[in-house]
Amino acid sequence: MPLRLSVLDQSPIAEGSTGAQALANSVELARRADALGYHRYWVAEHHGTPMLACASPEALIGPIAAVTSRIRVGSGGVMLPHYSPLKVAETFSMLSGLFTDRIDLAVGRAPGTDSLTMFALQRDRRTGAPDDFPEQLAELLGYLGDTLPSGHPFARLAALPGRPACPAPWLLGSSGQSALWAAEFGLPYAFADFINPSGAADAGRYRTSFKASAWHAAPEVIVAVWVICADTNEEAERLSSSAKMSFTLMQEGRLIPVPPVERALEFLDHARRERPAGLPMGGRPRRRILGTPAAVKAGIEDVAREYGADEVMVVTITDDGHARRRSYEMISDACSLHPQV
């Protein structure tokens, strides 16, 4: 089967622009991805940062699904520890009822923010939120599949508003623990290589430990990778400087909008000269696939083979919305996707 390509959108906010414009850019990019032949379009969840406008994926999925016709649309993801499983199930049931057979519900355990913002998101702030993700996930799947036992106190609440439609559940992760949960619950698994580029072994453990379920008969892996495609390798490297500066400062606790390329290049050049030899910038090393269409195609295929992935999800951050859109267009052409007429 040909390798599927998809989009993970974090709605980057360029310096001098606004969150509202970033959201409009996301809707327009989704429309373009639909026409270019990408398989699915997921929107992320991040809170409390001037860099990304993606605080509420469930609020963005509806507008995106409304302007597209073929592409699957979903969350990449919903950070379940912040929410009631029932509320998540009802929200995505409604989306599925409106856009039948096109809605994905990918959930994760990570907070998508810093500890202070995570605490601010809590409804009850008298104590820290419990670490009960597996129980939350089981309850969520019980609502979606209408499989809560008859004696369960919430059993009647599984009569969700969007029935008979149902979102397709996925588990997100960047660690071995999430891989084991995905295997135990019989869910398809999306691994964030752009966060942890050492996840191939975790994906392998997921496949070998997978238990077939009503949701999925066999293991399925998406690997999400950070990519920029341009006419030359040098231009792709240049465009990547904006995100590199943002992530370097983020590791130091300094949050900024995505800076313009020229300022980012100056910052990175100064940072390299000031940094002790051998010390990487921006914390842990990150994999970036950068270059011409041919180089990017080869890099994407290499990562897919490394993970044994059925699908690669491309995440791209630039300060220039046109360059980001053009990158996805060039990848589509290089990988022979099937544009819609």
Query: Do residues 276 and 334 lie in contact, with contact meaning Cβ atoms separated by under 8 Å?
Result: no
CA separation, residue 252 to residues 12, 69, 211, 245, 317 (Å): 19, 42, 41, 11, 19
Name the burial class of residue 54, with classes exposed (0-12), middle (13-18) and buried (19+) by CB atoms within 10 angstroms of its CB: buried
Helix (H, G, I), strand (E, B) or coil at 313: strand
**How many Cβ atoms sit within 10 Å of the Cβ of residue 80?**
22
Length of the chain: 341
Name the burial class of residue 64, with classes exposed (0-12), middle (13-18) and buried (19+) by CB atoms within 10 angstroms of its CB: buried
Domain boundaries, the chain: 4-334
Helix (H, G, I), strand (E, B) or coil at 50: coil
Helix (H) or strand (E) segment spanning residue 239: helix 233-251
- Which tens digits make up the pLDDT trace of 277-317? 544 555 556 799 999 999 999 999 999 999 999 999 999 99
Domain topology for 4-334: TIM Barrel (3.20.20)
- Which tens digits make up the pLDDT trace of 60-111? 999 999 999 999 999 999 999 999 999 999 999 999 999 999 999 999 998 7
d(CA 91, CA 125) in angstroms, rounded, equals 24
pLDDT of residue 341: 54
d(CA 32, CA 36) in angstroms, rounded, equals 6
d(CA 16, CA 289) in angstroms, rounded, equals 27
pLDDT of residue 112: 64
Query: Do residues 107 and 143 lie in contact, with contact meaning Cβ atoms separated by under 8 Å?
Result: no
pLDDT of residue 244: 94
pLDDT of residue 276: 55
Beta carbons within 8 Å of 86's beta carbon, 6+ residues apart: 139, 143, 154, 157
CA separation, residue 149 to residues 88, 89, 143, 168 (Å): 20, 17, 11, 21
Sign of CA dihedral 47, 48, 54, 58: positive
**How many Cβ atoms sit within 10 Å of the Cβ of residue 123?**
8
User: What's the pTM?
Assistant: 0.94
Helix (H) or strand (E) segment spanning residue 180: helix 176-185
Q: Do the bridges between strand 288-291 and strand 4-9 make them parallel or antiparallel, or are there none, so unpaired?
A: unpaired
Query: Do residues 138 and 105 lie in contact, with contact meaning Cβ atoms separated by under 8 Å?
Result: no
- The list of the chain residues with pLDDT below 50 reads 278-279
Query: Do residues 28 and 11 lie in contact, with contact meaning Cβ atoms separated by under 8 Å?
Result: no
